[in-house]
Structure 1
Amino acid sequence: MDKILVTGGCGFIGSHTIVDLVQNGFDVICADNNSRSNEGILNGVEKIINKRIKNYKVDLCIYDDTYAIFQENPGIKGIIHFAAYKAVGESVEKPLMYFDNNLNSLINILKCAEEFNVPHFVFSSSCTVYGNPDSMIVTEDTPQKPAESPYGATKQMGEQIIRDTIKSNSVNAILLRYFNPVGAHPSINIGELPIGKPANLVPAITQTAIGKIPLMNVFGTDYDTRDGSCVRDYIHVCDIAHAHTLALNYLIGNKNTSNCEVFNLGTGNGYTVLEVIAAFEKVSGVQLNYKLGPRRPGDVVAIYANNSKAKTDLGWVPGLGIDVMMDTAWKWELKLKNDENLFTTQIAGLN
């Protein structure tokens, strides 16, 4: 089995991707310092795949510690790099922290990929690289506008760092620009686990519905959209996870036509914030307590994906709709409530 290093593997998308990789025949190791995640999520992963994944609790911004992972695991065939801070609002407040963490960790991983001749590299990018595009529907060739947040800027810079780096070595890379992953694994053994108050919409919805958050804010009601709230392309996390397996197989099978290719990962459908709230209320039967408020700095007005390239080249077809996204996210939140000792870090972070 090909050995794959997943950085940030205790995170939301990382943990689901580990499951998908193992179920498709890969041997996986994880690197996550758990500064924004909980290592306990690997217990849920183990329940699904019947295998314990080794996690190296390493700060990837420290080169020597990162290097040691590769020394201990000769023959790594691929890297999927998730590890990064990702809260848009926090990045506006603490830009230097985001530039330091997100870019230095990437640089160290790329140094090790070159030093240890790792041939395949998949980067966790984001639709934030498009900034505020002229068209709501974006393709991989849509011109990029200035990033609306330091987080988005780190993804723009990260993509450029990868492109420039692999021009001079044998690494082949895929940049996966995902839109808004939500939901939980259908087993409800793993799901999204924000530390402290969530920055993303769906965990904010579920935590408000369960009572962890007394009142949810809807940021912005005067955007030029159907109902005045922001439009996003929400996609089930399991669909996103499977795209990483397909991307690795694409590189391993030498199907890439250049040493760096880009793919949008979204459903191609845009939902407003208020439409997502309505979808949640429908599947859960819970009336959400929320208020309408002013815009939030760093938010893009409206964006969703043209995903035809991923469908054609990777054979990727997202199959889980908005109702499944909301249903699995809610069942995961209910599971957390029923066993509050499951992830004590999350509970403590809310107090």
Structure 2
Amino acid sequence: MKVMVTGGAGFVGSHTVVELIAAGHYVQVVENFCNSERWIVERIERITGVPLALDELDIRDRDALRASMERFRPDAVIHFAALKSVSESTQLPASYYDVNVGGTATLLDVMQEFDCNRIVFSSSATVYGQPEACPVAESAAVGPATPYGRTKLVGEWLIRDCVAAPGASLGAAILRYFNPVGAHPSGLIGELPRGVPNNLAPYITQTAAGQRDYIRVFGDDYATPDGTGVRDYVHVVDLAKAHVAALDALASSDQRELTLNLGTGRGYSVLELIETFSSVVGRPIPYERQGRRAGDIGECWADPSRANAVLGWRAEKTLLEICEDAWRWQQASALPHD
């Protein structure tokens, strides 16, 4: 299958491109590098041994996107391209709606023009907001608490409306990630935050590497075993494989729309994650407990049983493997890029 991957040099996108190529698909990356680096493309080529087709463009640029789609004529799109910082979205909500919703609308419009009828959409567990109970199933109430989460939910609505439009032939898989972590086991690609990381795992690895003095642990009085927040940490390679499985499911079944949680079904606390990283690094990683941040929730982990049943997919990598791969990537990414 010919697959266009928007945001294909990003964290989850780059790993998904690797898995798509391994599965025998032909891939074209569409990327504007606002949250990624150009050398990631070469790293993907080193891992796969395959030259990678790349169009550098912004998906809001309708003419550029049309030209790219006309050249490649994809059978399907996996759509990652988006702004992704929860905290930044509270400061720049209009920009987040412009890119995340406006870009998705342009993409869907151009896909229809070129009769490209399958899309896998990168959504987020943030659409659930504060869950009423854990584990969280797809039937749980949605109520995102941030502009980022709301843009993901609006993107879901937009895609479902396109699937349901009279005469439409679009099929869609909407994948709600919990907490992507880890890196490719080669150490060649992984999470690459710019500036201060928004996510916990790279903050831990940067502290372990001596780039930061200590980890700030926000909240120590949640109703959890050690008082710190509990999250569902899923390895990025497992996530990438789920995208390939979702693409296959759209191609081989009569279901026009799938909404699936991607997680392990197990929650780990902040301190458990720090302790596991410490065991990998071989020394304690310093941290300091601080008060809760506004908007943070105590615990959230997935019920992934629907993805298990529909896709035949389940997260396989352990928390230890997550930490080992993330630390290998941290050590490699500190070296000069070739």
TM normalised by structure 1 equals 0.93
Once residues 162 and 189 of structure 2 are traced to their aligned partners in structure 1, the CA distance between those partners, rounded to angstroms, is 35
Structure 1: which 5+ residue stretches go unaligned?
343-351
Give the conservation status (yes or no) of the 8 Å contact 2:137–2:303. Answer: yes
Shift of 1:328: 0.5
Aligned to 2:38, what secondary structure does the other structure show? coil
Aligned to 1:138, what secondary structure does the other structure show? coil
What's the CA shift string for 1:317-349, capped at 9, x where partnerless?
A: 211000000000001101122x2335xxxxxxx
Once residues 250 and 169 of structure 2 are traced to their aligned partners in structure 1, the CA distance between those partners, rounded to angstroms, is 12
Once residues 295 and 56 of structure 1 are traced to their aligned partners in structure 2, the CA distance between those partners, rounded to angstroms, is 42
Give the conservation status (yes or no) of the 8 Å contact 2:208–2:281. Answer: no
Q: Please tell me whether residue 227 in structure 1 is matched to residue 231 in structure 2.
A: no
1:116 maps to which residue?
114
Once residues 58 and 299 of structure 1 are traced to their aligned partners in structure 2, the CA distance between those partners, rounded to angstroms, is 34
Q: Please tell me whether residue 282 in structure 1 is matched to residue 282 in structure 2.
A: no
Aligned to 1:56, what secondary structure does the other structure show? strand
1:172 maps to which residue?
171
2:245 maps to which residue?
246
What's the CA shift string for 1:177-220, capped at 9, x where partnerless?
A: 11111111111121111122110110110011112222321122
1:317 maps to which residue?
314
User: Bigger shift: 56-65 or 166-175?
Assistant: 56-65
Once residues 31 and 333 of structure 1 are traced to their aligned partners in structure 2, the CA distance between those partners, rounded to angstroms, is 26
1:299 maps to which residue?
296
2:207 maps to which residue?
208
1:195 maps to which residue?
194
Once residues 288 and 226 of structure 1 are traced to their aligned partners in structure 2, the CA distance between those partners, rounded to angstroms, is 20
Give the conservation status (yes or no) of the 8 Å contact 2:76–2:118. Answer: yes
1:349 maps to which residue?
none
Give the conservation status (yes or no) of the 8 Å contact 1:180–1:234. Answer: yes
Once residues 38 and 294 of structure 2 are traced to their aligned partners in structure 1, the CA distance between those partners, rounded to angstroms, is 31
Give the conservation status (yes or no) of the 8 Å contact 1:223–1:230. Answer: yes
What's the CA shift string for 1:94-121, capped at 9, x where partnerless?
A: 2222111111111111111111111210
1:348 maps to which residue?
none
Shift of 1:256: 4.2
Q: Which amino acid aligns with 1:82?
A: F
Give the conservation status (yes or no) of the 8 Å contact 1:78–1:118. Answer: yes
Q: Which amino acid aligns with 2:105?
A: I
Shift of 1:221: 1.7
Give the conservation status (yes or no) of the 8 Å contact 2:39–2:337. Answer: no
Aligned to 1:133, what secondary structure does the other structure show? coil
Shift of 1:4: 0.2
What's the CA shift string for 1:31-67, capped at 9, x where partnerless?
A: 1100111121112111111012122111112222222
Once residues 297 and 7 of structure 1 are traced to their aligned partners in structure 2, the CA distance between those partners, rounded to angstroms, is 32
Aligned to 2:75, what secondary structure does the other structure show? strand
Once residues 130 and 288 of structure 1 are traced to their aligned partners in structure 2, the CA distance between those partners, rounded to angstroms, is 32
Once residues 60 and 159 of structure 1 are traced to their aligned partners in structure 2, the CA distance between those partners, rounded to angstroms, is 17
Once residues 302 and 194 of structure 1 are traced to their aligned partners in structure 2, the CA distance between those partners, rounded to angstroms, is 24
Percent identity at matched positions? Answer: 42
Shift of 1:300: 2.9
Q: For this pair of structures, how many residues does the alignment match? A: 336
What's the CA shift string for 1:125-175, capped at 9, x where partnerless?
A: 11111110110211111121x212111111111101111122122110000
User: Which runs of structure 2 are paired with 1:147-166 in the superposition (5 Å)?
Assistant: 147-166=144-163
1:53 maps to which residue?
52
CA RMSD of aligned residues (A): 1.2
Shift of 1:289: 2.1
Q: Which amino acid aligns with 1:47?
A: R
Give the conservation status (yes or no) of the 8 Å contact 2:122–2:174. Answer: yes
Once residues 86 and 225 of structure 1 are traced to their aligned partners in structure 2, the CA distance between those partners, rounded to angstroms, is 27
1:97 to 1:286, Cα distance in 2 relative to 1, 3 A:
farther
User: Which runs of structure 2 are paired with 1:267-278 in the superposition (5 Å)?
Assistant: 267-278=264-275
- From 90, 102, 120, give the equivalent of 1:104: 102
Once residues 323 and 125 of structure 1 are traced to their aligned partners in structure 2, the CA distance between those partners, rounded to angstroms, is 26
Aligned to 2:191, what secondary structure does the other structure show? coil
Moved segments of 4+, more than 4 Å: none
Structure 2: which 5+ residue stretches go unaligned?
none
User: Which runs of structure 2 are paired with 1:79-94 in the superposition (5 Å)?
Assistant: 79-94=77-92
Once residues 293 and 177 of structure 1 are traced to their aligned partners in structure 2, the CA distance between those partners, rounded to angstroms, is 29
